[in-house]
């Protein structure tokens, strides 16, 4: 079983497109395309799988809404009896734990603080370096998905400030979840009661830190050296010129002449320092304006809307994994069956060869769902899919049990 550290589990194919692709799939040998009757039967099976997993996630959505309601800044109406004291702290911890599980199901990668600081270390391609006040957050989580490359424009002084395109590493999706502490960086009255959720797209990796509130732009080292040098030069120059005057001269009124003698050079040095400081302020304001304009189009959702969107992504991912694992075992594993390594390699290689999709298929999770649904059996470490008609009958029985209240499906429980 191949392991790819540079690949992600996320399968970037719509469920509807995946079903049609599998119906046209020819397999490792010629003549293995599904007949029209088999295609119709597989579409019915895929529809049942999709509906069943959708029911599971509807239940998960209800639980998430209840967990988030006491901390939702936009909740309308508000809960009648929100948790307080220790119960609120427990509810907050449970909410963050539940969100981490959801992000895992949607195949996002959690970034620790150390990983985030490593990725965002130094200045971005726009010459901007951010300082994040981590103590401004009681809890904060950052999740990413889809490493890639994006195109951005900047002005380069080496090309006389003309615009040029640069290639930057990006994250296709970035989700942040945080609860704030009282902190001077967050203003005089920050919201310290609620939990905020934000979802963004196509974010340069080095600029991920800009998605957290309270960030402050650091003055580049060269600019700090210029400004510090200007102040030091001014003080040194004044001290040197004043050393030419004796105490008697200073007292007798020669000080006014010394001041006028110092005025020209001192104004020049201080003016250079002010120009350096003012240039940095203009750069900072320009950056924040560009950031505001950029995030207007890159922000996908906020707060409760993030929950709904991510649950939908997780649901689609579950369906893709289930359909792929069952289909390849059913069509190509034969009577002897396949090991998990064989199934994993075949799915990855086939998607890469036919669709140019490079993934690290989450084989253990996919096989677990099939086994719990009773549509794949394991004998001596090899897995075989039950015939399609039997798999459909099994799903129909599960639907009947669910409708009568005999069976309550969960994400971690029985999932076909």
Query: Could you read off the pLDDT of 140-157 as tens digits, one per residue?
Result: 999 999 888 877 666 665
Least confident stretch, 244-258, 354-368, 371-385: 244-258
Task: With a cut of 60, say whether residue 250 has pLDDT above it.
Answer: no
Q: What's the confidence (pLDDT) of residue 345?
A: 92
Q: What's the confidence (pLDDT) of residue 413?
A: 42
- Cα 186 to Cα 178, 183, 189, 213, 337: the distances in Å are 13, 5, 8, 7, 59
Q: What's the confidence (pLDDT) of residue 45?
A: 95
Query: Could you read off the pLDDT of 107-153 as tens digits, one per residue?
Result: 899 999 888 888 777 655 555 667 788 899 999 999 999 888 877 66
CB distance 395 to 48 below 8 Å: yes
Instruction: Average the pLDDT over 250-265 and give the result.
Output: 53
Confidence band, pLDDT 50/70/90 cuts, at residue 30:
low
Q: How many CB atoms lie within 10 A of CB 44?
A: 13
Q: Compute the residue count for the chain.
A: 416
Q: For residue 72, give the nearest of 199, 196, 213 by alpha carbon.
A: 196
Q: What's the confidence (pLDDT) of residue 347?
A: 93
The share of the chain scoring above pLDDT 70, in percent, equals 70
Q: What is the DSSP letter of 136?
A: G
Q: What angle do CA 287, 291, 297 make, to 5 degrees?
A: 155
- Looking up tokens 């380069």 gives 156
Q: What's the confidence (pLDDT) of residue 258?
A: 53
CB distance 287 to 207 below 8 Å: no
CA distance 54 to 34: 26
Task: With a cut of 90, say whether residue 326 has pLDDT above it.
Answer: yes
Q: What's the confidence (pLDDT) of residue 387?
A: 94
Q: Coil, strand, or helix at residue 164?
A: strand
CA distance 314 to 310: 6
Per-residue burial over 349-387, b if 16 or more Cβ lie within 10 Å, else e, is ebbeeeeeeebbbbbebbbbbbbebbbbeeeeebbbbbe
Confidence band, pLDDT 50/70/90 cuts, at residue 414:
very low
Q: Coil, strand, or helix at residue 36?
A: helix
CB distance 164 to 156 below 8 Å: yes
Give the dihedral sign, CA 164/165/169/172.
Answer: positive
Instruction: Average the pLDDT over 178-187 and give the result.
Output: 91
Q: What's the confidence (pLDDT) of residue 415?
A: 39
Confidence band, pLDDT 50/70/90 cuts, at residue 75:
confident
Q: What angle do CA 239, 245, 246 make, to 5 degrees?
A: 120
Q: What's the confidence (pLDDT) of residue 218?
A: 61
The share of the chain scoring above pLDDT 90, in percent, equals 37
How high does pLDDT run on average in the chain? 79
Element (H, E) at 109: strand 109-111
| Residues facing 376 on adjacent strands | 385
What sections of 71-160 are H helices per DSSP?
86-105, 113-119
Q: Which residue has the higher pLDDT, 261 or 358?
A: 358
Least confident stretch, 74-78, 104-108, 157-161, 329-333: 157-161
Phi-psi region of 199 (alpha: psi -120 to 50; beta: other; left: phi over 0): beta
Confidence band, pLDDT 50/70/90 cuts, at residue 187:
confident
- Cα 346 to Cα 18, 34, 128, 341, 376: the distances in Å are 16, 18, 45, 9, 17
Q: Which residue has the higher pLDDT, 133 or 247?
A: 133
Query: Could you read off the pLDDT of 288-303 as tens digits, one per residue?
Result: 555 555 666 788 999 9
Task: With a cut of 80, say whether residue 408 has pLDDT above it.
Answer: no
Q: Which of 48-57, 127-136, 388-397 has the highest mean pLDDT?
A: 388-397
Q: How many CB atoms lie within 10 A of CB 216?
A: 11
Q: What's the confidence (pLDDT) of residue 205?
A: 85
CA distance 194 to 68: 9
């Amino acid at each position: 079983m191949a392991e790819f550290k540079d690949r992600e589990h996320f399968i970037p194919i719509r469920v509807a497109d995946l079903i049609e692709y599998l119906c046209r799939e020819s397999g490792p040998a010629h003549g293995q395309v599904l007949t029209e009757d088999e295609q119709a039967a597989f579409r019915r099976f895929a529809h049942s799988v999709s509906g069943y997993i959708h029911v599971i996630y509807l239940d998960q959505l209800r639980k998430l809404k209840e967990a988030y309601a006491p901390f939702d800044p936009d909740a309308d109406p508000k809960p009648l009896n929100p948790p307080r004291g220790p119960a609120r702290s427990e509810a907050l911890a449970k909410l963050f734990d539940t969100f981490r599980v959801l992000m895992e199901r949607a195949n996002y990668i959690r970034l620790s603080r150390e990983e985030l600081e490593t990725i965002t270390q130094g200045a971005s391609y726009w010459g901007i370096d951010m300082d994040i006040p981590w103590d401004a957050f009681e809890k904060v989580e950052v999740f990413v998905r889809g490493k890639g490359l994006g195109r951005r424009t900047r002005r380069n002084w080496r090309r006389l400030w003309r615009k040029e395109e640069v290639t930057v590493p990006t994250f296709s999706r970035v989700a942040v979840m945080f609860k704030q502490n009282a902190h001077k960086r967050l203003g005089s009255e920050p919201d310290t009661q609620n939990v905020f959720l934000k979802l963004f797209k196509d974010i340069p990796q080095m600029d991920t830190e800009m998605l957290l509130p309270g960030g402050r732009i650091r003055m580049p080292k060269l600019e700090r050296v210029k400004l510090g040098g200007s102040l030091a030069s001014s003080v040194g120059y004044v001290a040197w010129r004043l050393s030419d005057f004796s105490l008697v001269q200073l007292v007798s009124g020669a000080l006014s002449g010394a001041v006028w003698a110092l005025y020209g050079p001192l104004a020049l040095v201080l003016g250079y320092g002010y120009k350096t400081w003012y240039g940095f302020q203009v750069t900072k304001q320009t950056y924040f304006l560009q950031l505001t304009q950029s995030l207007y189009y890159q922000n996908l959702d906020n707060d409760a809307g993030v929950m709904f969107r991510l649950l939908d992504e997780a649901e689609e991912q579950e369906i893709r994994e289930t359909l792929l694992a069952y289909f390849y075992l059913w069509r190509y594993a034969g009577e002897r069956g396949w090991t998990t390594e064989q199934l994993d390699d075949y799915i990855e290689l086939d998607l890469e060869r036919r669709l140019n999709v490079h993934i690290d298929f989450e084989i253990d999770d996919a096989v677990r769902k099939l086994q719990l649904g009773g549509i794949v059996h394991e004998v001596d470490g090899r897995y075989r899919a039950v015939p399609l008609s039997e798999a459909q009958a099994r799903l129909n029985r599960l639907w009947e049990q669910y409708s009568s209240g005999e069976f309550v499906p969960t994400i971690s429980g029985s999932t076909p």
